[in-house]
Amino acid sequence: MRKCLYKDIHKIFARVAEKMPLYIPAKTGDEKAEYKKWSEGDELFEGLNTVKSPKDLFFPQSEDLVRFKTEGKNIEITDVREDKGPFAVFGVRACDAKSFEVLDRVFLTEPRDSYYASRRENATVVTLACSRPSETCFCKTFGIDAGEPGGDVSAWIAGDDIVFSANTEKGSAFLDIIGELTEECSCDAVDREKEKIAVIMERLPLSDLTTDGFGGGKTEDLFNRAEWAELSEACLGCGTCTFVCPTCQCYDIKDFKSGNGVVRYRCWDSCMYSEFTKMAHGNNRLTQKERFRQRFMHKLVYYPENNDGLYSCVGCGRCLKSCPVSMNIVKVMKKLGGKKND
Amino acid sequence: MQKITEKHLAEKAKDLLSQGKVSAVLGWRRGEFDYDVTPALFTDADEIENGLVYNCFCGANLSKYLVSKIRAVEGRMLVFLKPCDTYSINQLFTEHRVDREKVYIVGIPCNGMADITKIRNAVGEGITGVSGDECLRVETLYSDEPAELCLADVMSERCVNCKSKKHVAYDELLGDEGEVLDSHRFDEVERIERMSPDERFAFWQRELSRCIRCNACRDACPACTCEVCVFNNPASGVESKAPVNEFEEKMFHIIRAFHVAGRCTDCGECSRVCPQNIPLHLLNRKLIKDMNECYGEYQAGEAVGGVSPLTDYTAEDGEPGDLIRRRDTDA
């Protein structure tokens, strides 16, 4: 493990940024934050979560995939992706780090998504333990430990220091980059910090939330439950929950006619929208109740069914904070969990 | 003056339900925490007793829900409306989006709604309880002593600049009738008007480039009542799921502001629901201010029926160009 004074963190950022682009959660005004490429003067957001998760760095909200140009009978196809090379992202919370695993299972299983894969391979993920989780946090429900954030390098703020520990080869390379600015240290301070975090995790108001009643094989139990009507009745059908969610991974691919050929792009889509996955025969989810149900069934039943029991929620609490009508996965789980279809 | 609490709302709702005057009640349901209140439809007394809440987190304007919810109900629907919400419902009546006969409006007083983001900024993460009305006691995980905050200090911007405590539509009122207020709601618009064009462009670029296209502003807006928006219609060719550049969102927001101009009551839902805290209401207020200056004072939703400045013509109407020249000369 290596440490430096937390107040000198900007020196670490500057050193890393000499080697590769570095992304950090930075304040965007009004106490909100987002991941942005660090440049001198940018300050680390000291709050808990960015509005949007860092999934943007691997699966951007929109990206051009390929360009087509026709001249007579010839079609010219251009691969428009820019390989940006290695980059680092600092300050990823345990929940968000886990979300990359959820996304990996979608994008890295065959057929492998080469756009996503290249960014994942190029990234060094430096995580940061949560000293002050929010009342909206429930990562523990999904077996995540906010004190063991994972990634390529784990970091803890312990007293006046920030302590780094490499978990992978990429992580060791990262520690080499910041080597001169840090010094070797023991685990004691980190262990004390982890204990503190463990105590807080138990005190969180949602610490007793369980996944009982959900998981693979629960479709029959849950699909026709009457409670979906009440749960979904206030849903506005906006895309806030899906766009702030670190694990939502649905996208649309569309063609943009530029007047000088066609640009094929991919963009996030939301199962909350009425035109989502609309097909020639029309739409198979006609009301907001069905769209709402789809989102939660996907996270709590269909995804774990197809992914060895892994849930596609990491308990980051973003939807709890952002939903305009305060309807969210916790309310769904509390209402439907642990009961049989009647 | 009698202080109106959620108990009064619950009594009123149960009363009207049992008398058969209404068959459903649109109000707010208690959440996991004190602040995560959700709009909800109640049909029985027990649900109302246990679930109905009215506190400083009931900011959601319920009037738009009537457009879709009222169809599902036989008979009349009771809806609790705060003063500013009643302007929205009048506008919906004017536009024939909601049938007046099917609605039973109970006007409820409002002392201003709290903004949980402001509370969080003041006390930090880990809010486990918020109680009180004018003085809020905020309990957190990280402090043994609750923090005491004045509601006035953590109020939503729209409430700080409240335009009216008067209910402009109701079947009955709980509490006393309020008055139209002399608000400072155009101050911020004037500040932006005084900027140079470059500064103004930079201001809006900074704000609007944070937009994540979630459409919450549109979906919460009581003036946006198309049940399928053109932006959700794949056949429209303007689905606009991805921006051409990072500032393309300006087009969406400016067009939307024009689209609701003359109909926007300045309820402020657009800014309340924005997950990125973009002050979208300023676009609407700019248009309201310009219309006031060009065509005379007008408040959308003040009454049912009539014509708005943009649907009416008189020979005395000002020209927008003259207005800008006059403003430039004054400056």
CA distance B3 to chain A (A): 26
Best interface-test mutation with B: which of A240, A253, A254, A260 has the largest number of B CBs within 10 A? Answer: A240
What's the pLDDT tens digit per position in B155-187? 999 999 999 999 999 999 999 999 999 999 999
> Which residue of chain A has the CA closest to B214?
A239
**Rounded to an integer, what distance in angstroms lies between the CA atom of residue B210 and that of residue A196?**
35
Helical (H) or strand (E) element with B149: strand B143-150
Q: Does A320 lie in the same domain as A292?
A: yes
For residue A111, cis peptide bond before it (omega within 30 degrees of 0):
yes
ipTM (interface pTM): 0.93
Q: With helix as H, strand as E and coil as C, how does chain A read?
A: CEEEEHHHHHHHHHHHHHHCCEEEEEEEECCEEEEEECCCCCCECCCCCCCCCHHHHCCCCEEEEEEEEEECCEEEEEECCCCCCCEEEEEECHHHHHHHHHHHHHHCCCCCCHHHHHHHHHEEEEEECCCCCCCCCCHHHHCCCCCCCCCCEEEEEECCEEEEEECCHHHHHHHHHCHHHCEECCCHHHHHHHHHHHHHHHHCCCCCCCCCCCCCCCHHHHCCCCHHHHHHCCCCCCCHHHHHCCCCCCEEEEEEECCCCEEEEEEECCCCCCCCCCECCECCCCCHHHHHHHHHHHHHHHHHHHCCCCCCCCCCCHHHHHCCCCCCHHHHHHHHCCCCCC
In this structure, what DSSP letter does residue B176 have? -
Q: Does A140 lie in the same domain as A56?
A: yes
Instruction: Specify if A30 maps to a domain.
Output: yes
**Nearest beta carbon to residue A238 from set B32, B36, B214:** B214
- Whether A287 contacts chain B with CB within 8 A: no
- Whether A257 contacts chain B with CB within 8 A: no
- Whether A14 contacts chain B with CB within 8 A: no
Contact flag A275-B120 (C-beta cutoff 8 Å)? no
More confident residue, A9 or A256: A9
Helical (H) or strand (E) element with B216: helix B216-220
> Which residue of chain B has the CA closest to A334?
B32
Q: Does A318 lie in the same domain as A244?
A: yes
Q: Does A250 lie in the same domain as A195?
A: no
Helical (H) or strand (E) element with B157: helix B157-160
Contact flag B33-A254 (C-beta cutoff 8 Å)? no
Best interface-test mutation with B: which of A65, A80, A233 has the largest number of B CBs within 10 A? Answer: A233
CA distance A121 to chain B (A): 25
Q: Does A238 lie in the same domain as A198?
A: no
Q: Does A122 lie in the same domain as A230?
A: no
Q: Does A36 lie in the same domain as A154?
A: yes
**Rounded to an integer, what distance in angstroms lies between the CA atom of residue B38 and that of residue B49?**
16
Q: At what angle do helices B249-259 and B281-295 cross, to 10 degrees?
A: 40
CA distance B313 to chain A (A): 36
Where do the domains of chain B lie? 6-113+157-173, 117-148, 187-323
**Chain B positions in Cβ-Cβ contact with residue A239 (cut-off 8 Å):** 213-216
Best interface-test mutation with B: which of A61, A93, A326 has the largest number of B CBs within 10 A? Answer: A326
Contact flag B32-A34 (C-beta cutoff 8 Å)? no
Domain span holding position A241 = 219-336
A230 burial via Cβ count (<10 Å: 0-12, 13-18, 19+): middle
Contact flag A324-B272 (C-beta cutoff 8 Å)? yes
Full DSSP string of B52-117: B--STT----GGGHHHHHGGG-SS-EEEEE-HHHHHHHHHHHHTTSS-GGGEEEEE------B-HH
State how many domains chain A has.
2
Instruction: Specify if A210 maps to a domain.
Output: no
- Whether A26 contacts chain B with CB within 8 A: no
**Rounded to an integer, what distance in angstroms lies between the CA atom of residue A8 and that of residue A14?**
10
**Rounded to an integer, what distance in angstroms lies between the CA atom of residue B103 and that of residue B75?**
9
**Nearest beta carbon to residue A135 from set B121, B141, B219:** B141
**pLDDT at A342 (0 to 100):** 45
Whether this model's pTM surpasses 0.80:
yes
Contact assessment for residue B186 and residue B285, using Cβ atoms and an 8 Å cutoff:
yes
Instruction: Specify if A83 maps to a domain.
Output: yes
**pLDDT at A339 (0 to 100):** 58
Average per-residue pLDDT for chain A: 93
Question: Does the pLDDT value for residue A324 go beyond 50?
Answer: yes
Nearest to A33 by CA among A22, A44, A41, A18: A44
More confident residue, B238 or A127: A127
Q: Is B309 left (phi over 0), alpha (psi -120 to 50) or beta?
A: alpha
Contact flag A62-B276 (C-beta cutoff 8 Å)? no
Nearest to B13 by CA among B5, B28, B24: B24
- Whether A335 contacts chain B with CB within 8 A: no
Window 34-53 of A, Cβ < 8 Å to B: 34, 47-48, 51-52
Window 215-234 of A, Cβ < 8 Å to B: 230, 233-234
**Nearest beta carbon to residue B242 from set A47, A265, A326:** A265
**pLDDT at A257 (0 to 100):** 82
Amino acid A222 reads: L
**Chain B positions in Cβ-Cβ contact with residue A330 (cut-off 8 Å):** 32
Q: How confident is the model at residue B240 (pLDDT cuts 50, 70, 90)?
A: low
Question: Does the pLDDT value for residue B143 go beyond 80?
Answer: yes
CA distance B120 to chain A (A): 9
Q: Does A20 lie in the same domain as A135?
A: yes
Phi, psi angle pair for A117, to nearest 5°:
-60, -40
Q: How confident is the model at residue A66 (pLDDT cuts 50, 70, 90)?
A: very high
What's the pLDDT tens digit per position in A144-174? 999 999 999 999 999 999 999 999 999 999 9
Helical (H) or strand (E) element with B148: strand B143-150
**pLDDT at B245 (0 to 100):** 66
What is the edge-to-edge ordering of all strands in the sheet holding B143-150? Answer: B127-131, B135-140, B143-150
**pLDDT at A30 (0 to 100):** 66
Residues listed for chain B:
331
**Chain A positions in Cβ-Cβ contact with residue B128 (cut-off 8 Å):** 135, 205
Q: Does A107 lie in the same domain as A224?
A: no
What's the pLDDT tens digit per position in A16-53? 999 999 999 998 766 688 999 999 988 899 888 999 99
The mean pLDDT value for A65-91 works out to 91
Instruction: Specify if A118 maps to a domain.
Output: yes
Share of chain A above pLDDT 90, in %: 84
Distance of CA B166 to CAs A12, B10, B262, B264, Å? 57, 22, 20, 17
**Rounded to an integer, what distance in angstroms lies between the CA atom of residue A116 and that of residue A126?**
18
Contact assessment for residue A117 and residue A63, using Cβ atoms and an 8 Å cutoff:
no
Contact flag B212-A243 (C-beta cutoff 8 Å)? yes
More confident residue, B327 or A241: A241
Q: Is B147 helix (H, G, I), strand (E, B) or coil?
A: strand
> Which residue of chain A has the CA closest to B43?
A230
CA distance B213 to chain A (A): 8
**Nearest beta carbon to residue B216 from set A133, A274, A324:** A324
Instruction: Specify if A254 maps to a domain.
Output: yes
Q: Does A223 lie in the same domain as A105?
A: no
Q: Does A159 lie in the same domain as A36?
A: yes
Helical (H) or strand (E) element with B146: strand B143-150
- Whether A131 contacts chain B with CB within 8 A: no
Instruction: Specify if A342 maps to a domain.
Output: no
Contact flag A238-B216 (C-beta cutoff 8 Å)? yes
Question: Bridge-partner residues for B40, per DSSP?
Answer: B27
Instruction: Specify if A44 maps to a domain.
Output: yes
Window 138-197 of A, Cβ < 8 Å to B: none
Burial B42-63 (b: 16+ CB within 10 A, else e): beeeebbeebbbbbbbbbbbbb
Q: Does A198 lie in the same domain as A98?
A: yes
Q: How confident is the model at residue B286 (pLDDT cuts 50, 70, 90)?
A: very high
A304 burial via Cβ count (<10 Å: 0-12, 13-18, 19+): buried
Nearest to A25 by CA among A1, A3, A42: A42
**Rounded to an integer, what distance in angstroms lies between the CA atom of residue A308 and that of residue A132?**
31
Contact flag B241-A254 (C-beta cutoff 8 Å)? yes
